[in-house]
């Protein structure tokens, strides 16, 4: 069943649509789907150190993936692309999640040292596990939903380090290929959730710039259709 | 010396206060000129009274005991206290009754996101006027209020609070699955919505219906697009919306109203028409409202009612952003 894109006749737009583009691991996948959707990304691919790339109809704004929900919620960016891991960790941000873009696929997992039973032992003898993570809210929600008590220890950098030198019994982290875990003698114990890149929109922009956002969503859907 | 105040609260100093007061007076003038009398109610009420309005979502986050051991609460909006006031003080009144307010309310939101824990709301309640005439009246008052605030680009979204509840009943989805689906609709998580709908055992066509409906927003043509999707719930909602929208067109006030079938308010007492207000200059919702035909029953008088509330501070921000836009420095 197809539904015609609803127009917002009369809604006066302020300049081109601003799209938040995540730097880092999701950048190349993001630029590829934008290209496929007919958005010019040549300027972002170039050598420029700029953060803002004005374009015809759409201005691209580059930022850390974890900042995307902040900019989009406030309406500083109208739409954006970021990982589901970021959206889950910042679940209280009011952004509309419009589309699963399918790329950047990775898994949020609980991992421990190979052959090491300290996760189970702490659970049994201390009644709780100590988990180092960059995603404390995802970790807390997961263990709460599975009826286990944990002490989450938030770290900012390489979380693989933590259990190796005794900070926590295990880690909750995002795994793409599993190579980093392997190299640090860690193994996946439980899979929490699978994450991919998502297309999100500001609540007010979604209403007031409906035609532009619906058109872009439709193009992205087509570009990422399996 | 610096003495802290709780997060999500703030002081207002004379420069801002002067502008807020001007805005407040302009709004109250609109309300009064249309026959809405201003009322005030206590900021603290008995928790049991506020919970009667909506135990699940509108219940206050700030509760405490008084010296007699009674549980008190800070109000989280004005609609429930006014329902209490109308039932206690106006039970023998002539209807419709028109009341308005400017009052502070309290919610335990996470601050620093354009949301405060203590905030001012200006709004009206129209008690005893059924749809569609009552709905049309409050939309007209809302438009006049936005004009008085100088927000001529502001837009009003008009939706139907019962659409998805009835649609899910039609699809025979109940209990937890139904709550999960309504939750996804309220936060507009379309990816999660599709997952929940499939998990609830709906056919692909029903999933598409629900997702497509939530994306329909625009002018009158939206109602035809929705009707093409079909079903009893959709038929009922579009008939109601069409009636309201037609009456707005007749009175020449439909221009800034957008029909929005994706609209869902988070307060549980709404039924029938619901409203949300946006301005292109700011990324947050300016206010909202709608019909609450079932609410007064919980206070012992069975009357249809509708109202809206605007966040005073956000309207003020929008005013400033709009004036900046008009006169670039």
Q: Please tell me whether residues A101 and A200 are part of one structural domain.
A: yes
Whether B40 has a pLDDT exceeding 60, the answer reads: yes
Nearest-CB residue to B191 (from A13, A100, A214): A100
Looking from the CA of B115 toward its CB, the CA atoms found within 13 Å total 17
Strand partners, B65: B71
Burial label for A125, CB within 10 Å (0-12, 13-18, 19+), is exposed
Report the gap between the CA of B186 and the closest CA in chain A (Å): 10
Q: Which chain B residue is nearest to residue A214, measuring alpha carbons?
A: B215
Report the gap between the CA of B187 and the closest CA in chain A (Å): 7
What integer pLDDT is reported at residue B111 of this predicted model?
65
What integer pLDDT is reported at residue A10 of this predicted model?
34
What integer pLDDT is reported at residue A121 of this predicted model?
82
CATH class of B14-156+279-322: alpha beta
What integer pLDDT is reported at residue A4 of this predicted model?
34
**For the residues of B55-80, what is the DSSP string, one character each?**
TTTTS-S-EEE-TT--EEEE-S-SHH
Nearest-CB residue to A14 (from B215, B260, B280): B280
Q: What is this model's ipTM?
A: 0.86
Structure confidence by residue, pLDDT tens digits, A63-77: 999 999 999 999 999
User: Which pLDDT band holds residue B222 (cuts at 50, 70, 90)?
Assistant: very high
Q: Please tell me whether residues A43 and A143 are part of one structural domain.
A: no
Q: Do B103 and B78 contact (CB within 8 A), yes or no?
A: yes
A134: domain CATH number? Answer: 3.40.190.10
Which chain B positions have a beta carbon within 8 Å of A202's beta carbon? 283
Strand pairing category for B97-106 and B37-38: parallel
Region A81-88: what's the mean pLDDT?
Answer: 97
The continuous run of DSSP H or E covering B226 comes out as helix B221-229
Q: Which chain B residue is nearest to residue A98, measuring alpha carbons?
A: B190
**Is A45 within a domain?**
yes
Q: Please tell me whether residues A122 and A99 are part of one structural domain.
A: no
Whether B319 has a pLDDT exceeding 70, the answer reads: yes
**Is A46 within a domain?**
yes
Share of chain B above pLDDT 70, in %: 95
What integer pLDDT is reported at residue A3 of this predicted model?
36
Nearest to B306 by CA among B126, B84, B116: B126
Place of tokens 């015609």: A4
**Is A115 within a domain?**
yes
Q: Please tell me whether residues A21 and A97 are part of one structural domain.
A: yes
Q: Do B228 and A135 contact (CB within 8 A), yes or no?
A: no
What integer pLDDT is reported at residue B124 of this predicted model?
98
Which chain B positions have a beta carbon within 8 Å of A207's beta carbon? 155, 157, 217, 258, 260, 276, 278
Strand partners, B232: none
What integer pLDDT is reported at residue B328 of this predicted model?
62
Q: Tokens at residue A171, please?
A: 């880690």
What integer pLDDT is reported at residue B12 of this predicted model?
95
Interchain CB distance below 8 Å, A1 and B229: yes
Interchain CB distance below 8 Å, B218 and A8: yes
**Which residues in chain B are classed under CATH 3.30.930.10?**
14-156+279-322
Q: Is B298 helix (H, G, I), strand (E, B) or coil?
A: helix
Region B129-149: what's the mean pLDDT?
Answer: 96
Angle at A94 between CA A90 and CA B82, to 5 degrees: 130
What integer pLDDT is reported at residue B109 of this predicted model?
80
Dihedral over alpha carbons B148, B151, B157, B158 (to 10 degrees): 20
Q: Does A166 touch chain B (CB under 8 A)?
A: no
Q: Please tell me whether residues A96 and A48 are part of one structural domain.
A: yes
Distance (Å, whole) CA A81 – CA A202:
12
Q: Please tell me whether residues A122 and A138 are part of one structural domain.
A: yes
Question: Considering its fold, how many domains does chain A have in total?
Answer: 2
Q: Please tell me whether residues A119 and A98 are part of one structural domain.
A: no
Region B63-81: what's the mean pLDDT?
Answer: 93
Q: Please tell me whether residues A157 and A170 are part of one structural domain.
A: yes
Q: Tell me the residue range of the domain where A215 lies.
A: 17-105+196-224
**Is A3 within a domain?**
no
| Among the ranges given (A74-83, B239-248, B267-276), the one the predictor scored with the smallest mean pLDDT | B267-276
Q: Please tell me whether residues A27 and A72 are part of one structural domain.
A: yes
Distance (Å, whole) CA A60 – CA A63:
10
What integer pLDDT is reported at residue B306 of this predicted model?
97
The continuous run of DSSP H or E covering B25 comes out as helix B14-33
**Is A7 within a domain?**
no
What integer pLDDT is reported at residue B5 of this predicted model?
92
């Amino acid at each position: 069943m197809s539904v015609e894109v609803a127009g917002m006749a009369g809604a006066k737009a302020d300049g081109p649509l601003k799209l938040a583009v995540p730097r880092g691991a999701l950048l190349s996948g993001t630029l590829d789907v934008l290209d496929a959707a007919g958005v010019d990304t040549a300027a972002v691919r170039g050598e420029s150190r700029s953060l803002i790339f004005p374009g015809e109809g759409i201005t691209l704004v580059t930022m850390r993936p974890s900042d995307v929900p902040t900019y989009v919620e406030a309406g500083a960016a109208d739409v954006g692309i970021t990982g589901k891991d970021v959206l889950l960790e910042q679940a209280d941000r009011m952004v509309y999640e419009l589309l699963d873009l399918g790329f950047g696929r990775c898994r949020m997992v609980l991992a421990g040292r190979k052959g090491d039973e300290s996760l189970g032992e702490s659970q049994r003898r201390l009644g709780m596990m100590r988990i180092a993570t960059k995603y404390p809210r995802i970790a807390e929600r997961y263990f709460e939903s599975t009826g286990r008590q944990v002490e989450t220890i938030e770290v900012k950098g390489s979380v693989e380090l933590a259990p190796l030198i005794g900070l926590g019994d295990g880690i909750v982290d995002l795994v793409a290929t599993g190579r980093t875990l392997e190299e640090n003698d860690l193994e996946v114990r439980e899979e929490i959730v699978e994450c991919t890149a998502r297309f999100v929109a500001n609540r007010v922009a979604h209403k007031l710039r409906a035609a532009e956002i619906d058109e872009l969503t439709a193009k992205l859907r087509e570009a990422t259709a399996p | 010396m610096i003495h802290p105040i709780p997060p999500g609260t703030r002081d207002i100093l004379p420069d801002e206060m002067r502008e807020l007061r001007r805005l407040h007076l302009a709004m109250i003038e609109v309300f009064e000129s249309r026959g809405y009398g201003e009322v005030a109610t206590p900021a603290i009420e008995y928790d049991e009274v506020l919970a009667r309005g909506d135990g699940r979502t509108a219940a206050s986050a700030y509760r405490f005991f008084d010296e007699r051991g009674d549980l008190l609460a800070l109000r989280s909006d004005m609609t429930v206290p006014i329902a209490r006031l109308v039932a206690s003080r106006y039970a023998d009144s002539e209807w419709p009754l028109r009341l308005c307010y400017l009052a502070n309310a309290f919610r335990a939101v996470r601050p620093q996101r354009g949301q405060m824990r203590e905030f001012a709301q200006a709004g009206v309640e129209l008690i005893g006027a059924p749809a569609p005439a009552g709905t049309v009246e409050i939309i007209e008052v809302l438009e006049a209020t936005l004009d008085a605030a100088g927000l001529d680009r502001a837009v009003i979204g008009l939706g139907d609070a019962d659409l998805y509840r009835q649609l899910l009943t039609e699809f025979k989805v109940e209990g937890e699955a139904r709550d999960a689906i309504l939750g996804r609709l309220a936060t507009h998580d379309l990816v999660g919505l599709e997952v929940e709908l499939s998990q609830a055992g709906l056919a692909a066509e029903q999933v598409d219906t629900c997702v497509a409906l939530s994306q329909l927003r625009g002018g009158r043509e939206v109602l035809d697009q929705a009707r093409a999707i079909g079903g009893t719930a959709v038929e009922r909602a579009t008939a109601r919306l069409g009636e309201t929208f037609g009456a707005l067109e007749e009175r020449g006030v439909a221009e800034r109203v957008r029909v929005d079938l994706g609209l869902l308010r988070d307060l549980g007492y709404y039924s029938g028409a619901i409203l949300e207000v946006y301005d292109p200059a700011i990324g947050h919702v300016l206010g909202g409202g709608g019909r609450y035909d079932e609410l007064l029953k919980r206070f012992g008088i069975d009357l249809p009612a509708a109202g809206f509330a605007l966040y005073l501070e956000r309207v003020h921000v929008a005013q400033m952003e709009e004036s900046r836009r008009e006169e670039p420095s």
